[in-house]
Amino acid sequence: MRIRIVHDTVYTYEQPARGLIQILRLTPRDHDGQHVREWRIEPSVNGRLTAREDGFGNLVHWFTADDPTDALTVRVTGEIETFETSGIVRGAVERLPDLFYLRDTPLTEASAEIKSFAERVAGEGEGDPLSILHRLLAAVHDTVIFEPGPTSASTSAAQSFEAGKGVCQDLTHIFLAAARHLEIPSRYVSGYFRRNDGGDDQKAGHAWAESLVPELGWVGFDPANGLSATEAHVRVAVGLDYLGAAPIRGSRMGGGTETLDVALRVEQVQAQHQARGQQSQSQSQG
């Protein structure tokens, strides 16, 4: 599948912000499941954009604005060719030992309720990790309601599980907390998802989990959609939780109140071209 992405993150400040720095985890890498055909990051103000790699192996750009500004737009445009791998991730950059991904964080620490939930799911069928993970995927999807809306980077898995609802990052944190409690190394993934309901325009990027399965390696599980990662998923960054793989995090001095708006379009290029071709054919026949 060939996927085209246009992603605008728009910041406006009550007053000009000084010393503006943005850390951008917005650039995907090649692996067996995806090939980056083209990719570009364009800040709307003058500044320095420096590329490096973080400890997880993610491509990271540091943007430092030259002058104070009352508005900043970070535009990402790109095209990715993805391939169906049954959710298995091979050929990705790995910088850390597998057992590192058993670590808890404040966002993914399992509450007593999540521990009981994970143990119940694990005991309901076959005991191999892959079977447990598929049951856990279905259980999180069925138990916690996906509710689009404003997100908070400080909402923990325990809080979301207690509320019984959340956005994709919340369901992913719950999945991670449960899987790690069961001693299965698991990590957070940020990226994009090409929806099949015609909804090309979206309000935010996507998040899912990857867990380590013996003899298979890392396998993607998307609890928000209740499925393994597919060719519709564009993998960008990984971490222990949202904070380690956040698309944009930054700092500034002054600026007053900040307003954030996101405009995102994730479309299948081939389908778009076919639609245009069919339209042209229809017009010529008419």
Longest dimension (CA), the chain: 66
One CATH from 3.40.1190.20, 3.10.620.30, 3.30.830.10, 3.90.1520.10 for 2-268: 3.10.620.30
30: how many CB neighbours lie within 10 A of its CB?
13
Burial class (CB in 10 A: 0-12, 13-18, 19+), 8: middle
> How many residues belong to the chain?
286
Domain ranges of the chain: 2-268
Percent of the chain beyond pLDDT 90? Answer: 83
Check residue 149 and give its pLDDT.
67
Please state, in angstroms and rounded to a whole number, the distance separating the CA atoms of residues 42 and 133. Answer: 39
Using one digit for the tens of pLDDT, what is the confidence trace for 211-251?
A: 999 999 999 999 999 999 999 999 999 999 999 999 999 89
Cβ atoms 46, 52 nearer than 8 A? no
Q: Of 51, 61, 43, 77, which Cα lies nearest the Cα of 192? A: 77
Dihedral Cα 11, 15, 19, 21, nearest 10 deg: -10
Instruction: Give the model's pLDDT for residue 106.
Output: 97
What's the predicted TM-score (pTM) here?
Answer: 0.91
Going residue by residue through the chain, which has 286 residues, state the pLDDT in tens, using 9 for 90 and above. 999 999 999 999 999 999 999 999 999 999 999 999 999 999 999 999 999 999 999 999 999 999 999 999 999 999 999 999 999 999 999 999 999 999 999 999 999 999 999 999 999 989 999 999 999 999 999 999 998 765 577 899 999 999 999 999 999 999 999 999 999 999 999 999 998 876 678 888 999 999 999 999 999 999 999 999 999 999 999 999 999 999 999 898 888 888 999 999 999 997 444 444 444 333 333 3
DSSP assignment string, 130-163: HHHHHHHHHHHHHHSEE--S---TT--HHHHHHH
